[in-house]
C-alpha cells in the first residue's frame, strides 16, 4: 500500500466516523427527546441539517425514530465502504446491494451501541464527580442516558439508593455487540471496514 493510499484510507475512515457519529448523535437526541435548545444540540443540528433536509420530506420522523437520520447513517456507512473498496479494490469484491445495505445497518447499529456505552460511562462518572453540575454537555448526557436507563431501572427492585441498572445495561450492550459481530461474519463483512464495529 502506498503512502497516498494509506493517507486516503485514514481520511475516509476518520472523517467518515466523525460525520457518522454526528448523524447518530442527532438520532439519539431525537429518540431521547433531548433539549434541542442546548448549545451542543444546536451545533449537532446545524452540522447535520444540510445532509438531512433533503430526506425530511420523504422520511419524516415518527415517534422516537427519525427515519431520515437512520437512512442517512446507513448511506454514509455504505459510502465509507465504497470509498475503502475503491482504494483497496484488489483485496475484496463488492457484494450485491442488499448485502451492502446489511453491512451499513450492522455498522450503524454497532456505532449506536458504542455511543450508548460511552454515554453510560460518562453518566456514571458524572454521578460521582459532578452530580449537581448544570453544564450543557452534562445536561445532554443525562437527557440521552435517562430514557436508556429507565427501562432497566424498572426491572430491578429498589436497592436502597444504589442503582444497579448500569450493570444490566452493560450486559445488554455486550450481548448486542456479540450479536452484531456474528451478523457481520454471517454477511461476510470484511474485518475493520465498518465504522461501528
Range of the domain at 123: 3-186
3-state secondary structure of 192: coil
CB neighbour burial string for 77-116, b if at least 16 within 10 angstroms, e if fewer: bbebbebbbebeeeeeeebeeeebebbbbbbbbbbbbbbb
> How crowded is the C-beta side of 118, counted as CA atoms within 13 Å?
9
197 within some domain: no
| Residue with grid cell 443540528, as numbered in its chain | 45
25 within some domain: yes
Percent pLDDT > 90 in the chain is 39
DSSP state letter for 65: B
Domain count, the chain: 1
21 within some domain: yes
pLDDT confidence bin for 196, thresholds 50/70/90: low
149 within some domain: yes
Cell of 146: 435517562
139 within some domain: yes
28 within some domain: yes
Reported as a single tens digit per residue, the pLDDT across 115-158 is 999 999 998 888 888 777 888 898 999 999 989 888 888 887 77
> How crowded is the C-beta side of 115, counted as CA atoms within 13 Å?
24
Dihedrals phi, psi of 65, to nearest 5 degrees:
-105, 125
Distance CA 157, CA 141 (A): 25
Q: pTM, whole model, 2 decimals?
A: 0.86
79 within some domain: yes
Q: Output the CA torsion sign for 146, 30, 151, 109.
A: negative
195 within some domain: no
Q: Contact, 136 vs 42, CB < 8 A?
A: no
At 194 the pLDDT is: 61
Reported as a single tens digit per residue, the pLDDT across 22-33 is 999 999 999 999
Amino acid at each position: 500500500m502506498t503512502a497516498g493510499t494509506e493517507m486516503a484510507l485514514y481520511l475516509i475512515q476518520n472523517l467518515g466516523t466523525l460525520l457518522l457519529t454526528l448523524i447518530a448523535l442527532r438520532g439519539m437526541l431525537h429518540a431521547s427527546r433531548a433539549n434541542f435548545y442546548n448549545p451542543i444540540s444546536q451545533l449537532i443540528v446545524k452540522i447535520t441539517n444540510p445532509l438531512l433536509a433533503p430526506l425530511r420530506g420523504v422520511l419524516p420522523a415518527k415517534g422516537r425514530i427519525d427515519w431520515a437520520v437512520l437512512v442517512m447513517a446507513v448511506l454514509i456507512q455504505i459510502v465509507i465502504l465504497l470509498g475503502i473498496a475503491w482504494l483497496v479494490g484488489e483485496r475484496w469484491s463488492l457484494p450485491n446491494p442488499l448485502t451492502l445495505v446489511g453491512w451499513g445497518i450492522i455498522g450503524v447499529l454497532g456505532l449506536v451501541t458504542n455511543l450508548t456505552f460511552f454515554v453510560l460511562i460518562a453518566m456514571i462518572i458524572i454521578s460521582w464527580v459532578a452530580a449537581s453540575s448544570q453544564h450543557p454537555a452534562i445536561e445532554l448526557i443525562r437527557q440521552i442516558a435517562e430514557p436508556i436507563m429507565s427501562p432497566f431501572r424498572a426491572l430491578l427492585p429498589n436497592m436502597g439508593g444504589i442503582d444497579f441498572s448500569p450493570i444490566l445495561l452493560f450486559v445488554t450492550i455486550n450481548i448486542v455487540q456479540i450479536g452484531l459481530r456474528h451478523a457481520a461474519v454471517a454477511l461476510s463483512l470484511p474485518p475493520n471496514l465498518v465504522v461501528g464495529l
